[in-house]
Amino acid sequence: MTTTELAKAVLAAHGIEDAPGDDVQGIALAVQHSLKSHEGKTVERVGEVSPAKWRLVAS
């Protein structure tokens, strides 16, 4: 999933379906920073495509 897809999923989980684009992008940026800080530990980047796609690391 991309960070924007993850942000939209977080909002949907909280019952927010029609958030303004700026709010979605703000959440996506926070998600991206979190993913980068956990890269190689609990998540990994899938390929070299842009926008980046992420998946959980198998334990």
Name residue 44's amino acid: E
Query: What is the phi/psi pair of residue 15, to 5°?
Result: 80, 15
Cα separation, 47 vs 49, whole angstroms: 6
Rg of the chain in Å (alpha carbons): 12
Residue 59 reports pLDDT greater than 80: no
At 51 the pLDDT is 86
Q: Is 6 exposed, middle or buried (0-12, 13-18, 19+ CB in 10 A)?
A: middle
Sorting pLDDT into bands at 50, 70 and 90, what band is 12? very high
- Give Cα separations from 12 to 9, 18, 38, 56 (angstroms): 5, 9, 23, 20
Give domain limits for the chain.
3-56
Tens digit of pLDDT for each residue in 14-53?
A: 999 999 999 999 999 999 999 999 999 999 999 888 888 9
